[in-house]
Amino acid sequence: MIVGIGIDIIELNRIEKMLDGKLKFMERILTEKERSVAAELKGNRLVEFVAGRFAAKEAYSKAVGTGIGKEVSFLDVEIKNDERGKPVLVANTENIVHLSISHSREFAVAQVILESSSR
């Protein structure tokens, strides 16, 4: 049973401006493991990576129903990639989390569907 749905879209140029010499932004948004992946990226690929993670975490917080704040912070959620490159969202939840991230030249978008783990 679906227990939550969240979606978020963000302009890549907004993230690019926030990344411009601002390490604090990445420390606030990305976990340590995500920052180590980001350290290997440059230019547009870095912007897409950070924007995708930002959108995914926002979408998750919307699916949970709280938004980013006291109950769910950006650092409570981590996005990894499986062996095929598919993004996988890791968070402190008993629900099954389905995540999709996409990019265009101008935007990154993410959708999260939470499914009850009890069948």
Residue 20 to residues 35, 91, 110: CA-CA distances in angstroms? 15, 28, 23
**Residue 82 assigned to a binding site:** no
Which residue in 62, 70, 80, 86 is the catalytic one? 62
**Residue 8 assigned to a binding site:** yes
Q: Is 103 a catalytic residue?
A: yes
Q: Is 98 a catalytic residue?
A: no
Q: Which residues does 92 contact at the CB level (< 8 Å), separation at least 6?
A: 76
Which residue in 33, 80, 98, 103 is the catalytic one? 103
Alpha helices in 12-76 (DSSP H): 12-19, 23-29, 32-38, 43-64
Please state, in angstroms and rounded to a whole number, the distance separating the CA atoms of residues 14 and 60: 20
Binding-site positions for Mg(2+): 8, 58
Binding-site positions: 8, 58
Residues with active-site annotation:
62, 103
